[in-house]
Amino acid sequence: MKLNPYDDFIFFDSCAFNGGKLEMQEASMQSRYLLELNNKKVTLMHSVVDEINAPHTPPWIQELEPNSRKTVKLNLTSCEQTILADITSIVVGNGKPEKRAADCFHVFEAQKYGGFFVTSDNGILRHKLKIKEKYDLNIIDPIEFLSLVQEFSPET
């Protein structure tokens, strides 16, 4: 059974809009447009909002933030800290955790609420199966996600 993006939470990584290949950026924008056309709000994680509002972020991306639902930063429970550490271990492997801390937190926060995490970050995408298996989070690249959105959108 195919996953329906209209039945779950959807989180975009900031790099889905301004990282990776141009076609991935365009797919992210088109997905967001179709979702909102069909009354599905995209939720921004508070950690991604910080990146979107950074001074180096293009203005057209910063314009996404005011009209989006947002998660709220909360202190992590000990169980959540354990999950974040495990996700960090999966994503970073033998690398330096401090270089991927923000990315790992994005994945952690998305798994906390469930649904889809749309990213063009190959460092995250290469671990999508293991994260799906352990945490039931659907990590997907923007082009694959657009295909799902188009398939399930009443208005395209």
The pLDDT assigned to 1 comes to 63
Q: Is residue 60 part of a domain?
A: yes
The residue segments making up the domain with residue 61 are 10-152
Q: Is residue 70 part of a domain?
A: yes
Query: 122 lies in a domain?
Result: yes
Q: What is the pLDDT of residue 144?
A: 96
What radius of gyration do the chain's Cα atoms show?
15
**Domain-located, residue 117:** yes
| pLDDT bracket for residue 57 (50, 70, 90) | confident
Judged by phi (left if over 0) then psi (alpha if -120 to 50, else beta), residue 42 lies in beta
> Other C-beta atoms within 10 Å of 130: how many?
13
Q: What is the pLDDT of residue 66?
A: 64
Q: How far is CA 28 from CA 78, 88, 155, in A?
A: 34, 25, 17
Structural domain count, the chain: 1
Q: Is the distance from CB of 147 to CB of 27 less than 8 angstroms?
A: no
- Inform me whether the pLDDT recorded for 91 exceeds 60: yes
Residue 130 placed within a domain: yes
In a domain, 146, yes or no: yes
Sign of the dihedral through C-alpha 45, 112, 3, 9 = negative
pLDDT tens readout for residues 24-46: 989 998 998 999 899 887 777 77
Q: Is residue 31 part of a domain?
A: yes
Q: Taking the mean position of all CA atoms in its chain, how far away is CA 68?
A: 14
For residue 1, being part of any structural domain is answered with no
Structure confidence at residue 156 (pLDDT): 57
pLDDT at res. 150: 96
Which CATH number fits the domain that encloses residue 113?
3.40.50
pTM beyond 0.85, yes or no: yes
Q: Does residue 154 carry a pLDDT above 90?
A: no
pLDDT of 149 higher than 60: yes
Q: Work out the number of other CB atoms within 10 angstroms of the CB of residue 43.
A: 17
